[in-house]
Amino acid sequence: MGDSLRFDGKVVVVTGAGGGLGKTYALLFASRGASVVVNDLGTSHTGEGAGSKAADLVVEEIKKAGGKAAANYDSVENGEAIIKTAIDNFGRVDIVINNAGILRDVSFVKMKQADWDLIYKVHLHGAYSVTKAAWPYMRDQGFGRVIMTSSAAGLYGNFGQANYSAMKLALVGFAKTLAAEGKSRNIHVNTIAPVAGTRMTATVMPPELIEALKPEFVSPLVAFLCHESTPGNFYDVSKGLTPEAIRDNWAKDSKQAPSAPAAKAAGGNENVDPSQVVGFEFPVTKVQYTEKEVMLYALSIGAAKNPTDPAELKFAYENSDGFSVLPTFGVTFPNFSNVLSIPGLKFNPMMLLHGEQYLEIRKPIPVNATLTNHGRVKHLYDKGKGALLVVEADTKDEKGEVVVHNESYLFIRGIGGFGGERGPSGNENQPPNRAPDAVHKEKTRDNEALVYRLASGDMNPLHADPSMAAMGGFDRPILHGLCSFGYASRAVLKHFCDNDPANFKDVKVRFSKHVFPGETLVTEMWKEGDKVIFQCKVEERGEYCITNAAVTVSSAASSSSASASAAAAAASSAPAFKAEAVLNNLSKLLDVAGEAVVKKVNGIYHFHITDGPNGAKESWVVDLKTGPKGTITRGAPTKPVGVTLTLGDDSFQQLFSGKLNAQQAFMQGKLKIKGDMGLATKLGELIKQQAKL
């Protein structure tokens, strides 16, 4: 890398520099020797209110770091006053960064004249006014650099932003003309279309994106474009750089870029390098959850709406018999917002659509666990207008065994045409030509999306914030596709898997339409071999939200007799529970001291052991009430018990060998107790005696 790019002696005016992108520009220019006018009206992101604090704080920060800065609090509508601050304080103006901006998002039909006028005044008229006031100085001194701030919304359009996108694209034309007029006087005018996590985008992007897209990634490009050595261009920013790195790569990049039309910056070969994309491995991420998350998830996809139905309560209450995890919980494990970090792939996150989802259950999903996600890019297909990105992830347990495998099919509009393979265009999982074998109708809750976002961790404001929904083209926030997916999969689980997750092998769906919370989902199902083909309709609007979908069910679920024999076969060949050895030991104790123990304890224990070999569950009843010496039997209780203790196989063994303290296990949620607590505490004595053997 060559000498650093300095701005000593230069005077830079940055509008809207009190926060967001503008602040990073001001700090960077100041750190490289420029005197900076920090302009900011101190207004809200919709243009309400005004104040001097935002600009003052940035000036203070620059001065503290040894830089030179002056504040200006005028609106950009008053360009003369802003440029006057530069002249009064520093005697000249060399660089103008037109950055100030606000939003007045509303659908065109509801847009008021004031919404249009204000966006015009701040963005287009503001950039005109400030540039107009600086222009004569630049011409006279034979040097000037001007930046206009456009937006992807201007280039592609965006629902609810007719005013904003019109002004943002107008700035492109404005800049091109000024670039032509300024050329002979060494005035360069560039336009950028940034993407950054700021307060302006905080309502649009999920928190992970806000975190990932730092405004500091944009400022080096702005600095470079304003340096003495810079040619004119149109640029789109989305990754971390330094001004020097841009300069050093400029020659290479500019072979394609200098005269590129605006749209080319976000579509075409320079955005997609399949050789880097396909096979890219994401950093390993950790998933940690307890029964609480498992139950919250179940509730968020409608389970146990009837809380007295044991078939559903078992997904939503930890002490219920056969407490289990709904298979589709596995879809919440990977986090694919990290697709933005894939090298060789540049795109606007607003252009991303979740097209299809595949989930395969390889091992029973534990009721609490620490798992790791191992994700990679499986395919990248060129669909003409867009690209189809297929990302997959194996979620593994602590032994390194895959618990679930996910594949997400993500369609990215606007970046196709890079010359790649078109990929499959299959129309799989079509319903057969007969009436459905089963139909399941269920109304979603009015606040379903608010619950699902907490349960799944998908905090996209599209599902919560009415103004965001309006920007996305919807009357109100929509339900997560994966929530309707959960509802429909539950219907298949109920009708074709005996509500037993062990019978649910995998599921594939296509998301065809949105669902509004509160609408009724009608899942139509057809059994075809070991597949249950299904589709899901929104009753109120008659539109299918899920199509081309199927669940593979285990053959055990296909017929009840097969199910019984399969279970018997599994039981006979199943590896032993650790609890079994412990209880054999306990029966030896009863042989020698049973009478005394029964007298002392006088109660019946039911141990419900979870997480046995291959995740299996089993019950044992330790009857220390029925004389003379008590009994230990395998299987669910056939008579009333005093207390039920639910715990994992390992915990059971540790508890009885004295390695796990019962009280601590209870507090940590490893041991659940239902029934007579007094009887449960008597267990301590039993454990002590048993340990002596």
Q: Which residues are catalytic?
A: 164
The residue whose two tokens read 């995740």 is 615
Can you tell me which of 165, 190, 198, 238 binds ligand NAI, judged by CB under 6 A? 198
- State the minimum distance, in angstroms, from the CB of residue 151 to ligand NAI: 3
Q: Does 239 bind ligand NAI (CB under 6 A)?
A: no
Q: Which residue is nearest to ligand NAI (CB)?
A: 20
CB of 389 to ligand NAI, least distance (A): 21
Task: Give the span between the Cα atoms of 8 and 68, in whole angstroms.
Answer: 11
Considering the rule CB under 6 A, would residue 51 count as an interface residue with ligand NAI?
Answer: no
Q: What are phi and psi of 298, to 5 degrees?
A: -60, -45
Closest separation between CB of residue 183 and ligand NAI, Å? 25
Among residues 54, 119, 265, 325, the one that binds ligand NAI under rule CB under 6 A: 54
| Identified binder of ligand NAI from the candidate list 67, 79, 144, 194, rule CB under 6 A | 194
Contact between 70 and ligand NAI by CB under 6 A: the answer reads no
Closest to ligand NAI by CB, 333 or 347: 347
Q: Contacting ligand NAI (CB under 6 A), which of 5, 21, 451, 525?
A: 21
Strands 520-528 and 531-538: antiparallel
| Of 352 and 645, CB closest to ligand NAI | 352
Q: Parallel, antiparallel, or unpaired for β 95-98 and 144-149?
A: parallel
Interhelix angle for 291-300 vs 481-496, to 10°? 90
Which of 18, 327, 375, 486 binds ligand NAI (CB under 6 A)? It is 18
Q: Does residue 131 bind ligand NAI (CB under 6 A)? A: no
76 is a contact residue toward ligand NAI (CB under 6 A): yes
- Cα–Cα distances in angstroms (integers) from residue 112 to residues 47, 109, 204, in the given order: 15, 9, 22
Site membership for ligand NAI, residue 149 (CB under 6 A): yes
Out of 131, 191, 201, 547, name the contact with ligand NAI by CB under 6 A: 201
Per-residue tokens: 408:
């997400």
**Residue 357 belongs to what H/E stretch?**
strand 352-361
Q: Which of 13, 22, 431, 468 binds ligand NAI (CB under 6 A)?
A: 22
Beta bridge partners of 547: 510
Shortest CB 415 distance to ligand NAI, Å = 17
**Cα–Cα distance measured from residue 21 to residue 19, given in angstroms and rounded to the nearest whole number:** 6
Q: Residue length, the chain? A: 693
Q: Which residue lies nearer to ligand NAI by CB, 197 or 366?
A: 197
16 binds ligand NAI (CB under 6 A): yes
Residue 535 engages ligand NAI in binding (rule: CB under 6 A): no
Distance in Å, CB of 66 to ligand NAI, minimum? 24
Nearer to ligand NAI, 41 or 449 (CB): 41
The DSSP string of 480-523 is: PHHHHHHHHHHHHHHHHSTT-GGGEEEEEEEE-S---TTPEEEE
The answer to whether residues 515 and 452 touch, using CB atoms and an 8 Å cutoff, is no
Residue 599 found at the interface with ligand NAI (CB under 6 A): no
Alpha helices in 263-372 (DSSP H): 274-277, 291-300, 310-313
Sign of dihedral through CA atoms 608, 611, 617, 621? negative
Binding to ligand NAI in span 340-369, by CB under 6 A: none
Stretch that binds ligand NAI, among 134-142, 193-201, 548-556, 676-684 (CB under 6 A): 193-201
Gyration radius from the chain CA atoms: 32
| 322 in contact with ligand NAI (CB under 6 A) | no
Residues in CB range of 203: below 8 A, 6 or more apart: 461, 465, 467, 468
What are the φ and ψ backbone dihedral angles of 246, each rounded to 5 degrees? -65, -45
**Contact between 102 and ligand NAI (CB under 6 A)?**
yes
Nearest to 587 by CA among 518, 641, 656: 656
CB neighbour list of residue 292: distance below 8 Å, 6 or more residues apart? none
Among 200, 278, 294, 497, binds ligand NAI (CB under 6 A): 200
Closest by Cα among 313, 336, 309, 308 to 323: 313
User: Is there a contact between 272 and 345 (Cβ–Cβ < 8 Å)?
Assistant: yes
| 12: Cα separation from own chain's centroid | 38
Of 207 and 627, which has the nearer Cβ to ligand NAI?
Answer: 207
Interacting residue with ligand NAI among 42, 322, 518, 669 (CB under 6 A): 42
- Which residue, 12 or 449, is less far from ligand NAI as judged by CB? 12
Residue 160 contacts ligand NAI per CB under 6 A: no
Q: Of 96-104, 520-528, 552-560, 627-635, which segment contacts ligand NAI by CB under 6 A?
A: 96-104
Nearer to ligand NAI, 130 or 365 (CB): 130
Q: What is the CB neighbour count within 10 angstroms for residue 339?
A: 21
CB of 134: closest distance to ligand NAI in angstroms? 15
Interface stretch with ligand NAI, choices 195-203, 467-475, 628-636, 639-647 (CB under 6 A): 195-203
Count of residues that interact with ligand NAI, criterion CB under 6 A? 32
How many CB atoms within 10 Å of residue 576?
11
Beta bridge partners of 624: 603
Near ligand NAI by CB under 6 A, which window of 99-107, 277-285, 296-304, 409-417?
99-107
Beta strand pairing call for 603-610 and 643-648: parallel
How far apart are CB 550 and ligand NAI at their closest, in Å? 39
- Determine which helix (DSSP H) or strand (DSSP E) holds 471, and give its type and residue range: helix 466-471
For the chain, the 3-state helix, strand and coil shares in percent, each to the nearest 5, are 40, 25, 35
Among 31, 33, 45, 676, binds ligand NAI (CB under 6 A): 45
Interface residue list for ligand NAI (CB under 6 A): 15-16, 18-22, 39-43, 45, 47, 54, 75-76, 99-102, 122, 126, 149, 151, 194-196, 198-201
